Amino acid sequence: MSQKVFAPWEDATEKPLIQFKGVTKKFGDFVAIDNLSLDIYQKEFFALLGPSGCGKTTMMRMLAGFEAPTHGTILLAGQDIAPVPPNKRAVNMMFQSYALFPHLSVWDNIAFGLRREGQDKDAIAARVEEMLRLTRLSKFAKRKPHQISGGQRQRVALARSLAKAPKLLLLDEPLGALDAKLRQDTQFELMDIQEKTGTTFVIVTHDQEEAMTVASRVAVMDEGRVIQVATPSVIYEAPETVYVADFIGDVNIIQGRASQDADKVRIDWAEGQPPIIGTTQKTFSPSQTCHFAIRPEKVAISTEQPEAPNVLQGRVIDIAYLGNLSTYHVELPDGTMMKAQTANTRRLSRRDITWEDNVWLSFTDTAGVLLER
């Protein structure tokens, strides 16, 4: 069974739905978005990820039409959207604060956008009912926003922004206020809705796990710039910079000097310690400073010395028990801390490694990535 993988960004003939072309946004002297160029394709579930204040909401607001770029252009389906006012854009936004109309019932909130289009009554009613079913809100149609729970309110906001079947739906931290379980349910609901409606989603989130779960591609941002845009797995497995590696998930970063031999690199990282052997496609000049990034789950921990390309000795300082996983914090002889993660397939009482134990850490020569910066 050969199913075509959804990857329009790899197809040169595919036209992006949204194009940021050298967009800069300044508030006074403050640069909120710095010369940003980015393509987002039809039917993507595109996640913006980054620390607070890096410009995610500003990007959304420019797409929705509430802010105008200081420089550069934004194209929607090939058209410059700068002269189009927010109410004429085929873009709907789900606000971080939901922004439900408190004087209208759930039903009227969802119907609000449809009524502005001047559709006839039956068409509106049918569409609202459909949205209510989709977001499982039928029971609450007559209530006012202050009479329903936070999670229900969030779904009303979602239904309202979906009702007009926009080309592009902007979700600004849509699940921020939900508990873990409801959040997970809603994530799957969102993906389901996206699949059914074929709408392009751009989602802002602080939660990297959420981005990894729902997104077709993730853009990691910092101080108004996009650092890397890639699929979640590439972001996780092959980050381009230490910043990205560090931002997504847990990682061990070891700094050292590179000496390359074909695709193998020897990293001398501490006096009197065996060098780390890594693999790379890049070229490092002799004794260039480089960073070796390896995820804790790719580091094995054992009480006996194993056979592996990289073996390091250390002492267990701390153990973080996460239920299904345990993370061991191991101190290497030069004081460097390294994390190793194992799945807890055995009961807690039968684990053979505890605090202060001397252990061996090992990993293959392809487990980590080599980064220049």
Partner 1 sequence: MNLRRFALIAVPYIWLLALFLVPFLIVLKISLSDIALARPPYMPQLDLSAGWEGITSFFAALDFENFVFLTTDDLYWRAYLSSLQIAALSTFITLCIGYPIAYGMARAPLEWRATLLMLVILPFWTSFLIRVYAWMGILSNEGLLNQFLMWTGLISAPLTILNTNTAVYIGIVYTYLPFMILPIYAALEKMDESLLEAAEDLGCSRIQAFWLVTIPLSRNGIIAGCFLVFIPAIGEFVIPSLLGGSGTLMIGKVLWEEFFSNRDWPVASAVAIILLLILIIPIILFQRNEQKAREAEG
Ligand X SMILES: Nc1ncnc2c1ncn2[C@@H]1O[C@H](COP(=O)(O)OP(=O)(O)OP(=O)(O)O)[C@@H](O)[C@H]1O
Interface with ligand X by CB under 6 A: which residues?
A: 27, 30, 32, 50, 52-58, 206
Question: Which residue among 24, 31, 77, 112 contacts partner 1 (CB under 8 A)?
Answer: 112
Give which of 207, 295, 216, 199 is closest to 252, Cα–Cα: 295
CA atoms within 13 A on the CB side of 235: 29
Q: How many residues bind partner 1 (CB under 8 A)?
A: 25
Under rule CB under 8 A, residue 149 binds partner 1: no
Burial letters 68-82, b for 16+ CB under 10 A, else e: ebeebebbbeeeebe
Residue 101: name its binding partner from Mg ion, partner 1, ligand X, none (Cβ under 5 to 8 Å by kind).
partner 1
Under rule CB under 8 A, residue 27 binds partner 1: no
Query: In what side-by-side order are the strands of the sheet with 358-363?
Result: 300-302, 358-363, 310-321, 325-331, 337-343
**Cβ proximity of 340 and 363 under 8 Å:** no
Query: What part of residues 171-190 is at the interface with partner 1 (CB under 8 A)?
Result: none
d(CA 188, CA 287): 47
Indicate the residue among 114 and 235 with the shorter CB distance to partner 1. Answer: 114
Under rule CB under 8 A, residue 106 binds partner 1: no
Residue 53: name its binding partner from partner 1, ligand X, Mg ion, none (Cβ under 5 to 8 Å by kind).
ligand X
Indicate the residue among 57 and 362 with the shorter CB distance to ligand X. Answer: 57
Compute CA distances 277 → 74, 250, 289, whole Å.
45, 21, 15
Question: Which residue among 3, 52, 87, 345 contacts partner 1 (CB under 8 A)?
Answer: 87
Give which of 194, 246, 240 is closest to 215, Cα–Cα: 194
Query: What part of residues 53-82 is at the interface with Mg ion (CB under 5 A)?
Result: 57
Contact residues: Mg ion, CB under 5 A: 57
Residues in touch with partner 1 (CB under 8 A): 64-66, 85-87, 91-93, 95, 97, 99-103, 112-113, 116-117, 144, 146, 160-161, 164
